[in-house]
């Protein structure tokens, strides 16, 4: 990926932290422009950065700003992405060449945030939930590029599992094929974003940030390639009733199909529809699980630096 370095902009704070061996945690920007309405998106993004600092690490929000892969967005840049919202291109790996050439903006998905983190040599990335294999993918072939990136880019990704709108069983099968270790933090069951359980088992349960850091260090030292997925269940007090949220998801997916929405527009549409169907409860759960992941990500980053 060295050919992209001329398009890389790392903030002075992040650059100094990396140079002096301080823990740094990468953060995505799609959650800002496409995941939540303004101003909750900006408020949440700044709170996530604050939580990472409180837990001893330096936050590095990643976005495409005027044709640069920007690692360590300023508060003004986060505000800009939040206000511009859906007008910012949702940028996955395939979008990078044209956005960089045109000097345009892009909100980075899990895949592109992993690319930015790897270019800046940041080993840990925190998000809400990863993309995966969509329901009905056996006919639509709708599979998120996040899974391919996990199979190729050496970054540890902390999430609350795959988004509940996906086919979780097929998502795990795809990750197994790509050789990506799926770790449950304190759990043997894959969390399902809004809920703590899914009925599917992770590859391994690890109970401490130190264990997780040790496993990822072994992956890198042995040059096994690819990343590691750490799934962290939403805190119990914010978890939603599975029957209730799954009913809302099924209704949203049915409407999505009737409207012919597909591709990169699918996830933002579904998350917005589910938020409306649940009277905002799903948005609050989304925010709290991201905060929870930020705490864990910072602690893993600290262990990797020791």
- 79 in catalytic set: no
Catalytic residue among 90, 149, 163, 303: 163
What is the tens place of the pLDDT at every residue in 13-41? 999 999 999 999 999 999 999 988 899 99
What is the tens place of the pLDDT at every residue in 102-132? 999 999 999 999 999 999 999 999 999 999 9
Q: What is the CATH number of domain 2-305?
A: 3.40.1790.10
What's the predicted TM-score (pTM) here? Answer: 0.92
The pLDDT, as a whole number, for residue 4 is: 58
Catalytic residue among 28, 49, 79, 303: 28
Report the 3 state secondary structure along 42-88.
HHHHHHHHHHHHHCCCEEEEEEEECCEEEECCCHHHHHHHHHHHHHC
Work out the burial of residue 274: count CB atoms within 10 Å of its CB; fewer than 13 is exposed, 13-18 middle, 19 or more buried.
buried
How far is the C-alpha of 293 from the C-alpha of 236, rounded, in Å? 14
- 28 in catalytic set: yes
């Amino acid at each position: 990926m060295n050919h992209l370095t001329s398009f890389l902009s790392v903030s002075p704070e992040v650059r100094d932290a990396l140079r002096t061996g301080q823990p740094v945690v990468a953060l995505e920007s799609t959650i800002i422009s496409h995941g939540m309405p303004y101003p909750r998106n900006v408020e949440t993004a700044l709170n996530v950065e604050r939580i990472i600092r409180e837990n001893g690490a330096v936050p590095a929000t990643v976005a495409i700003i005027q044709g640069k892969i920007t690692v360590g967005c300023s508060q003004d840049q986060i505000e800009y992405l939040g206000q511009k919202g859906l007008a910012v291109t949702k940028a996955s790996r395939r979008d990078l060449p044209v956005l960089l050439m045109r000097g345009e903006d892009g909100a980075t998905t899990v895949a592109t945030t992993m690319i930015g983190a790897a270019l800046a040599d940041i080993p840990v990335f925190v998000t809400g939930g990863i993309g995966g294999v969509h329901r009905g993918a056996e006919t639509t072939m709708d599979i998120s590029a996040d899974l391919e990136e996990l199979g190729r880019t050496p970054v540890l990704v902390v999430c609350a599992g795959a988004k509940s709108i996906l086919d979780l069983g097929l998502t795990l099968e795809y990750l197994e094929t790509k050789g990506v270790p799926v770790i449950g933090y304190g759990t043997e069951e894959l969390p399902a974003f809004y809920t703590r359980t899914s009925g599917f088992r992770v590859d391994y349960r690890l109970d401490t940030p130190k264990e997780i850091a040790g496993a990822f260090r072994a992956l890198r030292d042995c040059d096994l390639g690819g990343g590691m997925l750490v799934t962290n269940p939403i805190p119990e007090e914010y978890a939603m009733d599975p029957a209730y949220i799954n009913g809302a998801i099924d209704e949203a997916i049915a409407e999505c199909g009737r409207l012919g929405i597909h591709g990169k527009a699918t996830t933002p549409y579904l998350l917005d529809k589910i938020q409306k169907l649940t009277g905002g409860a799903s948005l609050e759960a989304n925010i709290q699980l991201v905060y929870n992941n930020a705490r864990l990500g910072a602690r893993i980053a600290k262990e990797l630096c020791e």
